[in-house]
Amino acid sequence: MAIKQLNKTKKVVKAEKKVIPPPASESSEQESDQSELENDAEEEEETETATEKEETKNENVTFKDLGLMQPLVDACEQLKFKAPTEIQKESIPWSLQGRDIIGLAQTGSGKTAAFALPILQALWNNPSPMFACVMAPTRELAVQISETFESLGSTIGVRCVVIVGGMDMMAQSIALSKKPHIIVCTPGRLQDHLENTKGFSLRSLKYLVLDEADRLLDMDFGPIIDQILKVIPKERNTFLFSATMTTKVAKLQRASLNNPVKVEVATKYSTVSTLLQYYLFFPLKQKDSYLVYLLNELAGNSTIVFSRTCNDCQRITLLLRNLGFPAIPLHGQLSQEKRLGALNKFKSGNRNILIATDVASRGLDIPSVDIVLNYDLPNNSKDYIHRVGRTARAGRSGKSITFVTQYDVEVYQRIEQALDKKLDEFPVDKDAVMLLQERVDEAQRFAITELKEQHATRGKGGRGKRQFNSDDKDRDDDSVQAGAYHSKSGAARGNRQGKKMRK
């Protein structure tokens, strides 16, 4: 194979190279996981230096040229995919040749179809139940991947099932007994079925995909993946895809790849050129005022606000609703039904402000997202890349604004370092922000009282002991969207309905 030297800029590249050296010890693996969280820069040093690349020769490649059969070419056309994206161009021919793939490409660059299309073609050529298993780190992402398989495979009658936590085990067991072709799952629930569902096994599996592979191979999921890998055939194809692929040998070792082709369509922490990234620096005590100011300024845009914890997510939602913003929360302490409901409302435009934890940071494809606000800084550069990647997808434009307080400077500088660029400060009218402070403080006090009430309800062990279910339901109705929010905790709040912040 013709090979050229790695080009550090955003070039389409191709590589063929055995990347799996001998196993590392468990302890060194844990250390490396830890250091990855603590310092992204360290990982950079471990990037393989010998990776060999080749530039794309033909810019006008079609889906047909990649070797895809006509029904799949037709499906792409139906989805209005005019031409393959770079990662599709570079990986699909290898996948069709039966190679294992490590695929790295920017957020929103079409990685899902890059792994789904060759699997669907292989399924067509050799149909069998339990043909492929796709794992994803979040339930919402699993649902979305399944939808992609179904739309791309509609012309060949593919049958998919989604196996994720928070949903009824029995209904899933029944769905599995119907022998679907493709299982899209989160690892924990799949393991649960492998252990407890009679008659279910993955012994005939031909393809395993780890989407957001670096996340799936980390400390949280890794041990479960290890267990699953023990009970699936070694003779299979394995695809790893992510926008921030790990280069840690011990992690890649975990996936038991067989002489994989590494396809990189981006440098490690690159973001798309259509994404405009900004930061805002201010004292911590003004954080909520800045948030409210920005949401006012950016009213009409579809916005995701990322917070660090479920509690913060819930508090910010209540605060914004008290001020008349159509905000909806998405975090791991909501019931699964609520999570999917929130996502659907946001996707459909029914609510245009989603307040989310990192449960929404990876993989979710919501074309209409205009703005990502990092209310709290992400833990590391990888999470930053995935969060801001919820906008500016598939060639569209988008903006991200990251809040930086006096306590965040070090982490923020590490992110800038990883991005290898200095971001611009987002222009604001500071006097206008100051004018908001009093009303925001007041709304904040109400939000905190309300949050305490929610916690008290949960503590009593009623429905959804661990979840923000019932109270949240009260909030999440159309009257809230209209800003006509009525307080349970005092008439005073009702009087504030008129004080809407939105222009």
Ligand X SMILES: Nc1ncnc2c1ncn2[C@@H]1O[C@H](COP(=O)(O)OP(=O)(O)OP(=O)(O)O)[C@@H](O)[C@H]1O
Return residues touching ligand X (CB under 6 A). Answer: 81, 84-85, 88, 105, 107-113, 243, 363, 365, 367, 389, 393-394
Judged by beta carbon, residue 379 or residue 449, the one nearer ligand X is 379
Residue type, 137: P
CB-based contacts of 488: which residues, under 8 Å, 6+ apart? Answer: 450, 453, 474
Q: How far is the CB of 223 from ligand X (least distance, A)?
A: 24
Q: CA-to-CA distance for 314 and 462, rounded, in angstroms? A: 19
Q: How far is the CB of 163 from ligand X (least distance, A)?
A: 19
DSSP 495: G
DSSP 154: G
SS3 197: coil
DSSP for 319-349? HHHHTT--EEEE-TTS-HHHHHHHHHHHHHT
Judged by beta carbon, residue 105 or residue 340, the one nearer ligand X is 105
Judged by beta carbon, residue 244 or residue 322, the one nearer ligand X is 244
Q: Tell me how many helices (H) and strands (E) the chain has.
A: 20, 15
- The percent helix, strand, coil of the chain (3-state, each to 5) is 45, 15, 45
Strands 261-264 and 15-16 turn out to be antiparallel
Q: How far is the CB of 382 from ligand X (least distance, A)?
A: 11
Q: CA-to-CA distance for 212 and 13, rounded, in angstroms? A: 20
Q: CA-to-CA distance for 356 and 138, rounded, in angstroms? A: 13
Residue 350: CB atoms within 10 Å: 12
Going edge to edge, which strands form the sheet with 398-404? 327-330, 353-356, 303-306, 371-374, 398-404, 275-281, 424-425
Judged by beta carbon, residue 131 or residue 149, the one nearer ligand X is 149
Q: How far is the CB of 274 from ligand X (least distance, A)?
A: 12
User: Does residue 378 contact residue 361 with C-beta atoms inside 8 Å?
Assistant: yes
Q: How far is the CB of 228 from ligand X (least distance, A)?
A: 21
Q: CA-to-CA distance for 160 and 137, rounded, in angstroms? A: 18
Q: How far is the CB of 242 from ligand X (least distance, A)?
A: 7
Q: How far is the CB of 116 from ligand X (least distance, A)?
A: 9
Judged by beta carbon, residue 33 or residue 211, the one nearer ligand X is 211
Q: How far is the CB of 365 from ligand X (least distance, A)?
A: 4
Residue type, 320: L
User: Does residue 130 contact residue 179 with C-beta atoms inside 8 Å?
Assistant: yes
Q: CA-to-CA distance for 52 and 73, rounded, in angstroms? A: 30
Judged by beta carbon, residue 283 or residue 367, the one nearer ligand X is 367
Q: How far is the CB of 215 from ligand X (least distance, A)?
A: 11
Half-sphere exposure (Cβ direction) of 386: Cα atoms closer than 13 Å: 27
Judged by beta carbon, residue 277 or residue 481, the one nearer ligand X is 277
- Residue 431 belongs to what H/E stretch? helix 430-459
Which residue intervals of 62-101 are DSSP H helices? 70-78, 86-96
Q: How far is the CB of 105 from ligand X (least distance, A)?
A: 6
Judged by beta carbon, residue 250 or residue 263, the one nearer ligand X is 263
Q: How far is the CB of 83 from ligand X (least distance, A)?
A: 6
Judged by beta carbon, residue 84 or residue 324, the one nearer ligand X is 84
| R_g of the chain, CA atoms, integer Å | 23
Judged by beta carbon, residue 85 or residue 357, the one nearer ligand X is 85
Residue type, 168: D
Judged by beta carbon, residue 314 or residue 381, the one nearer ligand X is 381
User: Does residue 300 contact residue 478 with C-beta atoms inside 8 Å?
Assistant: no
Token pair of 293 as six digits: 């100011």
Q: How far is the CB of 211 from ligand X (least distance, A)?
A: 7
Half-sphere exposure (Cβ direction) of 112: Cα atoms closer than 13 Å: 26
Judged by beta carbon, residue 110 or residue 118, the one nearer ligand X is 110
Q: How far is the CB of 110 from ligand X (least distance, A)?
A: 3
Judged by beta carbon, residue 202 or residue 354, the one nearer ligand X is 354
